[in-house]
Amino acid sequence: MGNEQDFKAPNPGIGFTWIIQLLIKILFGLFPQVSEELRKALVEFLLEFYRKAMETDNPWDDFLARFLLRIFSIPIPS
C-alpha cells in the first residue's frame, strides 16, 4: 500500500458538469430538427411531467422537471 501522503483528492472543479453541458448542447441543437408533430408531443409530455412533479413531495422531481424544460427552452408554467 502507498503512503497516505500520496493520495490526492480529485479536483473539485472537475466533475460531471461537462457531460451535462454537452448533453444540453446536443439536445438543444437536435430539438429544432425534430418534426413539428414530435416536438409538440414532447412539449406536451414535459409539461404534463412538470405538473405531476409539482404534485409530489419530492423536491428532486421538481428539479428534474424544471431541468428538462430548460434544456428544451420550454417556458416553465407559473
Cell of 51: 405538473
Residue 61 is assigned to a structural domain of this protein: yes
Cβ neighbours, 10 Å, residue 50: 19
What is this structure's pTM? Answer: 0.65
| Range(s) of the domain holding residue 46 | 35-78
Residue 75 is assigned to a structural domain of this protein: yes
Residue 52 is assigned to a structural domain of this protein: yes
Tens-digit pLDDT string for the chain (78 aa): 555 566 565 555 566 677 778 887 887 788 788 899 998 999 999 999 999 999 999 999 999 999 899 888 899 998
Residue 25 is assigned to a structural domain of this protein: no
Residue 6 is assigned to a structural domain of this protein: no
Residue 11 is assigned to a structural domain of this protein: no
Q: How many domains does the chain have?
A: 1
What is the rounded CA–CA span in Å between residue 74 and residue 47?
8
Residue 40 is assigned to a structural domain of this protein: yes
